[in-house]
Amino acid sequence: MSRFTRKLRKWSVDILDLPQDLVMDLPRLTMVGNKQLLIENHRGVLHFAPDNLRLALPEGSLSVVGSSLVIKAIMPEEVLIEGDIAAIQYLGTGEKR
């Protein structure tokens, strides 16, 4: 993303009071206890196992660690995960795992 585009998006958020996740292409995570996680604005599943899930994001990836993880619903930009969630880690574009 160019520097000008980032500045324009930041200006839109600040001046027009728009939600950052919508304007800046950020993921939105909604967690219910440690049993359910809804992730919006993802770009696909990179890896799935009952103890680990990795999703591609517009910039970077997201790792969810736990046990008995199940993908309950998957849509083009949303995924619903259920199970015993122990940790969530955001990996930016510069980090590899």
Per DSSP, the three-state class of 21 is helix
Q: Which amino acid, 7?
A: K
Block means of pLDDT (10 residues each) for the chain, 97 residues, are 69 62 72 95 94 92 96 93 96 63
The strand order across the sheet containing 36-40 reads: 28-32, 36-40, 78-91, 61-74, 52-56, 44-49
What does pTM read for this prediction? 0.72
